[in-house]
Amino acid sequence: MLLQFLLLLLLSLSFLLSFLLLPRASSLEPPARFEFLLRARPLLLAVLIFFQHSSELPNYNEHLQ
């Protein structure tokens, strides 16, 4: 649950940074230090969706006991 929260927080921050780093008239390239967050956003979203769905799956270890 904590990992899910941290992933959601990181995803939110990356969205916020992408809005803050929208191209302005003077520069079309975002700073390199934030580039990894902008590139990792789809992967973070996929991991978050995976954890959301895996937490909804039944616990198969209970059925084995």
Written as tens digits, the pLDDT of the chain (65 aa) is 677 788 788 878 777 777 666 655 455 555 666 666 667 777 777 777 777 766 665 655 555 55
Q: What angle do CA 47, 21, 25 make, to 5 degrees?
A: 150
pLDDT value at residue 27: 56
pLDDT value at residue 29: 57
- Cα Rg, the chain, nearest whole Å: 17
pLDDT value at residue 41: 74
Sketch the domain layout of the chain as residue ranges: 1-19+34-55
Q: What is the pLDDT of residues 1-19, one digit of tens each?
A: 677 788 788 878 777 777 6
